[in-house]
Amino acid sequence: MGVFTEEMLKEAENIVAQYPQRKAAIMPLLWLVQERFGYIPNEAIAEVAELTGTTPVHVEAVVKFYEMFHERPVGKYQLMLCTNVSCLLRGADKTLQKLKEVLGIDVGETTPDGMFTLEEVECLAACDKAPVLLVNAVELFENVTPNKVEQIIAELRQRYGSGDKETIQ
């Protein structure tokens, strides 16, 4: 028994049918898996390969290449801080340090309560608002100076506690 349930398999067939070549469905199928599990379990790699007529090595390469795919479980809030040139010039290194302090974790780690995962990412195409912090790939916090970090974390915690899961996967 793999990670694809019967329901997911039906959806996967519909997705694959939308493309002239099966392998073009690799990313949407991976997204389907991640929506369900919050990350890409190892077993899903071979299943996606079979569904798309490719090899596990090929699918694994796609997972590793795109930062939006997670190879491990992540927190409710995935915090992606850009530390590329523009953001770095505007103090992203200090913002990163503050995030580590406030969360008590390092880059790539998840808080013990499973609430936050901290990641460093490349340019998010919002250089004019640097430094920027992307939350769960849907919400962008701009001009994130160190003194804003505690407020942002508190806001996210409060939002989760209030049941507003707008940015929660």
Q: Which residues bind ligand FES (CB under 6 A)?
A: 82, 84-87, 123-124, 126-127, 130, 132
Q: How many CA atoms lie within 13 A of 16 on its CB side?
A: 18
- Work out how close the CB of 56 gets to ligand FES at its nearest, in angstroms, rounded to a whole number: 33
- Work out how close the CB of 125 gets to ligand FES at its nearest, in angstroms, rounded to a whole number: 6
Q: Which is nearer to ligand FES, 137 or 154 (CB)?
A: 137
Q: Which is nearer to ligand FES, 12 or 82 (CB)?
A: 82
- What tokens were used for 72? 């491990």
Q: Which is nearer to ligand FES, 95 or 117 (CB)?
A: 95
- Work out how close the CB of 127 gets to ligand FES at its nearest, in angstroms, rounded to a whole number: 4
- Work out how close the CB of 37 gets to ligand FES at its nearest, in angstroms, rounded to a whole number: 29
Q: Which is nearer to ligand FES, 25 or 134 (CB)?
A: 134
Q: Which is nearer to ligand FES, 96 or 153 (CB)?
A: 96
Q: Whose CA is closest to 157, among 105, 119, 103, 108? A: 103
HEC assignment per residue over the chain:
CCCCCHHHHHHHHHHHHCCCCHHHHHHHHHHHHHHHHCCCCHHHHHHHHHHHCCCHHHHHHHHHHCCCCCCCCCCCEEEEEECCHHHHHCCHHHHHHHHHHHHCCCCCCECCCCCEEEEEECCCCCHHHCCCEEECCCEEECCCCHHHHHHHHHHHHHHHHCCCCCCCC
